[in-house]
């Protein structure tokens, strides 16, 4: 059993992060497994070494320990390109030249209300999908989207007859949930082709500025690090469907997933990184102990 905590060093860790890290750590410890820390710093513009150092400090103070050396996603570009190249060669990616405004305009047909929002924001209306491919090799410095329809077709074809993890009658048996989704989902989670196609759509797998994306990197690295149990917030429940599809397409093991509740402040807002008053460091400096933090997050 291997769990992980995978923060992005773009701000201080707050109580919500502490809760997530402690859940993953305790789970591994109770099972005699390993807890892994991974630094998700693909966003070079927002990641800072100071934040990374503070992550180590806060987690150590909380009493956690982890395997070293710690993997940084910024050092894993080759692995991401290899995975993207694989998908590109199979015709599952296409170049997208839209900016945010283009996507919004194309998705907002007149008199049709708000555009549909999925785990990556507005569901991409497909503007660039049918543009001809001008590159034979994997292109660089462009945004690449997953062609969801082609991906599901390949997934169905490759899996048909195999049974358990197959797409059966348009159903997509996704993953084993050992926690709870936002609507209480637990156990075997199913989705449908239709849901993936219409509510998730052609997600970006390589951003123009990063050469990769959260979805792609997280899947490649969870497999690389042999993570068997992912622990994370229920806000990522829908994104997990994307991850499981990618795991199948790339021939990777599907871990089990534990989605947990999100901590909220007194007014019911999710704790986000901007709530500096909730930063672990502030509690530390105010004289709190690690067990106070466990109390505060309800552990």
Binding segment toward ligand GLU, per CB under 6 A, in 6-14, 62-70, 204-212, 259-267 = 6-14
List the single partner that 218 binds among Zn ion, ligand GLU, none, CB under 5 to 8 Å by kind. ligand GLU
Q: Which does 98 bind (CB under 5 to 8 A by kind): Zn ion, ligand GLU, none?
A: Zn ion
- Nearer to ligand GLU by C-beta: 197 or 262? 262
Distance of CA 193 to the CA centre of its chain: 20
The answer to whether 7 contacts ligand GLU (rule: CB under 6 A) is yes
Give me the phi and psi of 34, to 5 degrees please.
-120, 145
Within residues 54-113, the interface with Zn ion by CB under 5 A covers 96, 98
201 scored as a contact of ligand GLU (CB under 6 A)? no
Is residue 107 within 8 Å of residue 122, measured between CB atoms? yes
Site map (CB under 5 A) of Zn ion, residues 125-154, x = contact: --xx--------------------------
Instruction: Classify each residue of 34-69 as buried b or exposed e, where b means 16 or more C-beta atoms within 10 Å of its C-beta.
Output: bbbbbbbbbbeeebeeebbebbeebbebbebebeee
> H-type helices in the chain, by residue range?
15-30, 49-61, 77-89, 100-107, 148-159, 193-195, 214-224, 237-249, 280-285, 290-296
Three-point CA angle 265, 267, 270, nearest 5°: 45
Please identify which residue in 13, 16, 22, 40 interacts with ligand GLU, judged by CB under 6 A.
Answer: 40
Q: Is 218 in the site for ligand GLU (CB under 6 A)?
A: yes
The minimum distance between CB 253 and Zn ion, in angstroms, equals 32
Q: Are strands 256-260 and 229-233 parallel, antiparallel or unpaired?
A: parallel
CB of 232 to ligand GLU, least distance (A): 4
Output 6 or 249, the one with its CB closest to ligand GLU.
Answer: 6
Q: Which does 96 bind (CB under 5 to 8 A by kind): ligand GLU, Zn ion, none?
A: Zn ion
Contact 5, 20 (CB under 8 A): yes
Which spans of this chain sit near ligand GLU (rule: CB under 6 A)?
6-8, 40, 218, 232, 236
């Amino acid at each position: 059993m291997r769990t992980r905590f995978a923060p992005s060093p773009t701000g201080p860790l707050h109580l919500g992060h502490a809760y997530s890290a402690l859940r993953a750590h305790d789970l591994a410890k109770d099972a005699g497994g390993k807890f892994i820390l991974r630094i998700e710093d693909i966003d070079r513009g927002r990641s800072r070494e100071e934040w990374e150092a503070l992550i180590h400090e806060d987690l150590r103070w909380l009493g956690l320990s982890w395997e070293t050396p710690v993997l940084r996603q910024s050092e894993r570009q080759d692995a991401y390109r290899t995975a993207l190249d694989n998908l590109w060669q199979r015709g599952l990616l296409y170049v997208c030249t839209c900016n945010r405004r283009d996507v919004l305009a194309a998705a907002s047909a007149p008199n049709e209300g708000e555009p549909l929002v999925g785990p990556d924001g507005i569901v991409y209306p497909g503007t660039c999908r049918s543009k001809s491919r001008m590159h034979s090799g994997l292109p660089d410095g462009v945004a690449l989207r997953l062609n969801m329809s082609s991906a599901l077709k390949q997934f169905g074809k490759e899996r048909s007859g195999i049974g358990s993890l197959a797409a059966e009658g348009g159903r997509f048996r996704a993953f084993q949930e050992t926690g709870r989704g936002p609507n209480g989902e637990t156990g075997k989670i199913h989705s449908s082709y239709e849901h993936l196609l219409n509510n998730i759509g052609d997600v970006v797998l390589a951003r123009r500025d990063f050469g990769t994306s959260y979805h792609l990197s997280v899947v490649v690295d969870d497999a690389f690090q042999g993570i068997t149990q992912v622990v994370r917030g229920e806000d990522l429940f829908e994104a997990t469907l994307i991850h499981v599809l990618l795991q199948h397409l790339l021939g990777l093991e599907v871990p089990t997933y534990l989605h947990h509740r999100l901590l909220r402040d007194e007014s019911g807002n999710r704790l986000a990184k901007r709530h500096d008053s909730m930063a672990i460091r502030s509690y530390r400096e105010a004289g709190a102990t690690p067990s106070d933090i466990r109390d505060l997050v309800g552990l």
